[in-house]
Structure 1
Amino acid sequence: MALIEGLILYIRPYRDSDLLVRVFTKDQGMVTLMARGAKKAKSKVGFACQAYTWAVFDGVYPKNGQGLGFINAVQDSRVYRHVVEDITVSAYAALIVKILDLAFEEGQVQPNWYQKALIGFDKLNQGIDPQIITNIFELQLLPSFGVAPNWQADPISGAVVGDFDYSEKYNGIIERSHFALDDHRLNLDPKVVYYLRQFSAIDVDKISKVTLSMMTKRGIQRVIDYLYEREVGLKPKEKVFIQKMAAWEGQLKIKAREREEKS
């Protein structure tokens, strides 16, 4: 028996009344635990077995970091209510969860990222812009996929101050005087480069209210999507859902403006 503390990432039905609970644990990283009878109305553990919940279980870890562990009882739990109830925030949380789950091997202890995950979900729950929190996670998790762009200095001159653009050829930022060396640089707005550099290194705990223009946010997301699709080879269905949701919201705003103009 063990006390298992962790953030529940997602759950899956298993058999008639059981659940498989994917948990980012404090002590053993990513594990899957079986909660027997959790779907039953009288279950003593089912209430805590829901996505985006921090919990402490009495249970058993998977043996040798493989297979399934088990949940026997709940000692404590706390659901991130706003994350669960707001569809937009929930969509971004699902993307963070997906990337975290893919970034680390089963049973690989990640105490720093575990704490970052809890802080990130606290920020989402407080109503901080979910795209910004997600972008920070996306950028800072890139090295876990073997992709580590240089956001700090021009590799040619060492410049850390100036106007920069992103160059895949040089795996990071290059200063304006070197733009001619890469005809395929991304031609980014300076504000986009500034925030990419900040988000790649910032402590998520220091994020409070951040207000960016829609154009800047789109530019940041475009670069991140470019890196994940071209260099990581990853485009999760959770990201596709967010893109479709944004397009749908955009159509609603256009229709609303058209109705206002006609009235």
Structure 2
Amino acid sequence: MNERFEGIVLFKRPHREHDGLVKIFTQEFGTKMFFVRGLYRGHHRLTSACLPMTHHAYIGDIQDDGLSFLKESQSIQLFQRLQADILLQAYGIYVLQLLDASLEDNQANPKLYQLLLQVLEALNQGLAPQVIVAYLEIHLLPVFGIHIQWASCAACQVSDRPLRFSLKRQSVLCDRHASLDIHCLPVSSRAVHLARRLSQVDLKQIQNINLSDQTLKDLRVLMDAIYQEYVGIRLKSKSYLDQITQLDWSST
């Protein structure tokens, strides 16, 4: 039975000689794998509808188990800036892979679907990609079962003093109580306050932010440490992003 649905393409890969498998995060059915016959032959009518980091309306045959099938499509957003800029593209691919890793297939999740759309839109608009990606990482932590106490110091509940981050306590500590964990991460209080702020606001509230390179680097150190300690996933797209951002830092 044909269904109407919308979705964001996560990735595609060849299947057999000319066919393709396309994974789409659908709003209605969650993540599904679609079989597209002849996708890798020239001038296939669904080529643009199967391009990663694009958003479309579809008609297709949805199967509860196994492969589903695409029939028709209509483009909604192509995120052309993401497609054209190699650095933004690296951020976008990491975003897609991280979100895919957080989801169970075939389970609708409208909240995360809207979050992914907002993240891609923000990246496409040229907002600071380091901040936008950290926002996603912070808001995916509960999906991975990780609950960080960002709101205030775990010892005294103040939030208006310089803050450190304790992996041991899975929380922030103010400067008066940082001695409770001598292994607090060596990142600036500005970066910790930024992460705390990102945990509390809607993505739509984030506009152009004027941050120093050091604060952005510290934010990345913070998020990498949290994901390595608590989540433990290794994505090829993250390794590639690290390499290309290192080159970008070196050129500035």
The bucket for the TM-score relative to the shorter chain is over 0.9
Deviation (angstroms), 1:171? 1.1
Q: Any stretches of 5+ residues in structure 2 without a counterpart?
A: none
Q: Distance in 1 between matches of 2:219 and 2:43?
A: 47
Deviation (angstroms), 1:77? 4.0
**Is 1:243 aligned to 2:242, yes or no?**
yes
The change in CA–CA distance for 1:101 and 1:180 in structure 2 (over 3 A counts) is same
CA-to-partner distance for each residue in 1:161-203, whole Å, 9 max, x for gaps? 2221111222111122212211111143121111010112221
Any idea what SS the aligned residue of 1:27 has? coil
Q: How many residue pairs were aligned?
A: 251
Any idea what SS the aligned residue of 1:183 has? coil
Runs of 4 or more consecutive aligned structure 1 residues displaced over 6 Å after TM superposition: none
Q: Any stretches of 5+ residues in structure 1 without a counterpart?
A: 254-263
Matches within 5 A, 1:51-130: 51-63=52-64, 66-130=65-129
Normalised by the size of structure 2, how large is the TM-score?
A: 0.94
Q: Percent identity?
A: 27
**Is 1:181 aligned to 2:174, yes or no?**
no
Q: Distance in 2 between matches of 1:164 and 1:224?
A: 15
> Looking at CA atoms only, which structure, 1 or 2, has the larger radius of gyration?
1
CA-to-partner distance for each residue in 1:49-74, whole Å, 9 max, x for gaps? 111110111101222xx311110111
Tell me how large the CA RMSD over aligned residues is: 1.6
1:259 maps to: none
Contact map agreement 2:49 2:74 (CA 8 A) in 1: no
Any idea what SS the aligned residue of 2:5 has? strand
Deviation (angstroms), 1:211? 2.1
Deviation (angstroms), 1:157? 1.9
2:13 maps to: 12
1:46 maps to: 47
CA-to-partner distance for each residue in 1:89-142, whole Å, 9 max, x for gaps? 000011111110000100121101111111111111111121211111011111
Contact map agreement 2:3 2:62 (CA 8 A) in 1: yes
The change in CA–CA distance for 1:50 and 1:146 in structure 2 (over 3 A counts) is same
1:161 maps to: 160
1:191 maps to: 190
Any idea what SS the aligned residue of 1:200 has? helix
Return the letter of the residue paired with 1:19: G
